[in-house]
């Protein structure tokens, strides 16, 4: 599932997810828009904040496969 879809399904704003994950709001936006590939550390923080596995987030599956 796309990060944006997961976030919205949990009724979490980009700002709230960023705060919970310990990253900036622009980082969340960049991941959702696929502006740049996220670092592994960032992927782990976001997945943990959403309480999902890395492989549950489409943008991260693509990054792991590279």
Domain boundaries, the chain: 3-65
Say whether 10 sits in a helix, a strand or coil.
coil
State which fold the 3-65 domain adopts. 434 Repressor (Amino-terminal Domain) (1.10.260)
Going by pLDDT thresholds of 50, 70 and 90, the confidence category of residue 28 is very high
Q: What's the pLDDT at 57?
A: 92
- Please compute the mean of the pLDDT values over residues 42-61 and round it to a whole number: 93
Q: Which helix (H) or strand (E) holds 38?
A: none
Check pLDDT > 80 for residue 66: no
- Please compute the mean of the pLDDT values over residues 7-25 and round it to a whole number: 97
Is residue 2 within 8 A of residue 61, CB to CB? The reply is no
Please give the model's pTM, rounded to 2 decimal places: 0.90
């Amino acid at each position: 599932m796309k990060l944006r879809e997961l976030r919205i399904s949990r009724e979490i704003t980009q700002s709230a997810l960023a705060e919970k994950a310990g990253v900036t709001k622009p980082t969340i936006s960049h991941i959702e828009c696929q502006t740049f590939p996220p670092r592994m550390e960032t992927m782990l923080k976001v997945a943990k904040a959403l309480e999902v596995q890395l492989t549950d987030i489409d943008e991260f599956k693509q990054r792991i496969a590279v």
